Amino acid sequence: MSGGFWSNRGIPLASLMLIRQPVRLAVALAGISFAGILMFMQLGFRDGLFDASVTVHRLFDTDIVLISPRSTSSVSMAGFPKRRLVQAMALPEVEGITPVNWNLLLWRNPETRGTRSILALGFEPGDPLFTDATLAPKAKQLTQKGRVLFDERSRPEFGPVAEWFREGRVVESEIAGKRVRVAGLIELGTSFGADGNLLTSSETFRELLPNTPPGSIEVGLIRLNADADAEEVVMRLKTLLPDDVTVLTKQGFIDFEQNYWKTGTSIGFIFTLGAAMGFVVGCVIVYQVLYSDVSDHLPEYATLMAMGYRLFNLLGVVVREGLLLALFGYLPAYAAGQGLYLLVRNATQLPVAMDFSRAFTVFTMILIMCMASAGLAMRRLVDADPAEIF
């Protein structure tokens, strides 16, 4: 086989048919790209929203998380006795614990005086909270009563807190009717349930929410020794602790939150439907283009059959046209997707980024789109009767 595939090739009919009809090619590629961009956006939003729902969850410096079984999501966290967290200390694998208060509170915009709900976390300023090491020195500021650390990545509706603070001004505002002062800035990021975040000490937190029973917390963080198996400790804690707490691994805590948004809301459905619409629109466009392409060239296909080409060869031309369209329609969609993700990240602070699995999913969808359309357009080829062309 000195010749091989390359030498046995024929005229590249599929690509020539596409290239020599630039308008049709442009329409097809625009349609496919559009469908691809739509799918990228919808799936990106969906995954971004699910990801965003756990922005804060991911930051915790913890291996195991205790929550109340009555908690359904970050926007409705119920309290449980802090005792349970202390009980967990009984296990030798447990290295440290951090009790955390967690609630949505009304923050008054210091500029416009409007209020908006913000996620407030209360903890003992000396306890480790986040894996981010820059927090510890700032946390010291919280030992003074009425001080908060404000998330500078909160949405602008909370007021120009970060700007004012950087300018050296004293930023004071009200939370739940109590006066607080911003003692520093942190960087967390918005999530689906919370447009902004702030940290405060447990003491201040109880003052902001005087109805919280003493000794009640919403989240308990448990850190283990480096060589401990979190799954196994979770099992032991479940038997050790009564039913008034749910024991989760850190990943379990993240899944718990994401699961709420995936199953408890229609977000997943809406955005998946949006992506499906993109798919359908793409199918219609590619089918139209390929079908009219085959129809226009029917006499030529019939001529080829009269010359002795097999129907199979001609079907191959249509399939290759579909493949080429898929490939060259996907590339601009991918590039545009990257650009739009950047735009979305800047405009909404949602953690939307191109990942391999989504890039692959969209490519697969485009491929299916083009192949299905090619398959349907092929049926037209059966009408190519070489006897009719004389």
Interface with another protein (CB under 8 A): 3, 6-11, 13, 16-17, 19-21, 297, 299-300, 303-310, 386-387, 389-390
Least Cβ distance, residue 386 to another protein (angstroms)? 5
Least Cβ distance, residue 309 to another protein (angstroms)? 7
Per DSSP bridges, beta strands 64-67 and 246-249 are: antiparallel
Burial of 7 (0-12, 13-18, 19+ CB in 10 A): exposed
| Of 14 and 198, CB closest to another protein | 14
Within 8 A by CB and 6+ apart from 134, the residues are 186
Cα 279 from Cα 372, distance rounded (Å): 11
Least Cβ distance, residue 59 to another protein (angstroms)? 58
| Of 208 and 290, CB closest to another protein | 290
Q: In three state form, how does the secondary structure of 215-254 look?
A: CEECEEEEEECCCCCHHHHHHHHHHHCCCCCEEEEHHHHH
Least Cβ distance, residue 273 to another protein (angstroms)? 39
Q: Among 341, 360, 324, 364, which Cα is nearest to 14's?
A: 324
Least Cβ distance, residue 40 to another protein (angstroms)? 32
Least Cβ distance, residue 7 to another protein (angstroms)? 4
| Of 228 and 389, CB closest to another protein | 389
Q: Among 59, 220, 189, 63, which Cα is nearest to 135's?
A: 59
Q: Among 104, 106, 116, which Cα is nearest to 157's?
A: 116
Q: In three state form, how does the secondary structure of 59-126 look?
A: HECCCEEEECCCCCECCECCCEECHHHHHHCCCCCEEEEEEEEEEEEEEECCCCCCEEEEEEEEECCC
Least Cβ distance, residue 20 to another protein (angstroms)? 4
| Of 234 and 306, CB closest to another protein | 306
Cα 303 from Cα 385, distance rounded (Å): 9
Contact 71, 218 (CB under 8 A): yes
| Of 356 and 390, CB closest to another protein | 390
Least Cβ distance, residue 320 to another protein (angstroms)? 14
| Of 260 and 301, CB closest to another protein | 301
User: What are 114's two structure tokens?
Assistant: 């409007």
Buried b (16+ CB within 10 A) or exposed e, 84-121: bbebbeebebbeebbbbbbbbbebbbbeeeebbbbbbb
Query: What does the CA dihedral 27, 31, 36, 39 come to, rounded to 10 degrees?
Result: 170
| Of 13 and 182, CB closest to another protein | 13
| Of 4 and 214, CB closest to another protein | 4
User: What are 135's two structure tokens?
Assistant: 């927090």
Least Cβ distance, residue 24 to another protein (angstroms)? 11
| Of 16 and 280, CB closest to another protein | 16
Cα 338 from Cα 351, distance rounded (Å): 13
| Of 347 and 387, CB closest to another protein | 387
Least Cβ distance, residue 53 to another protein (angstroms)? 52
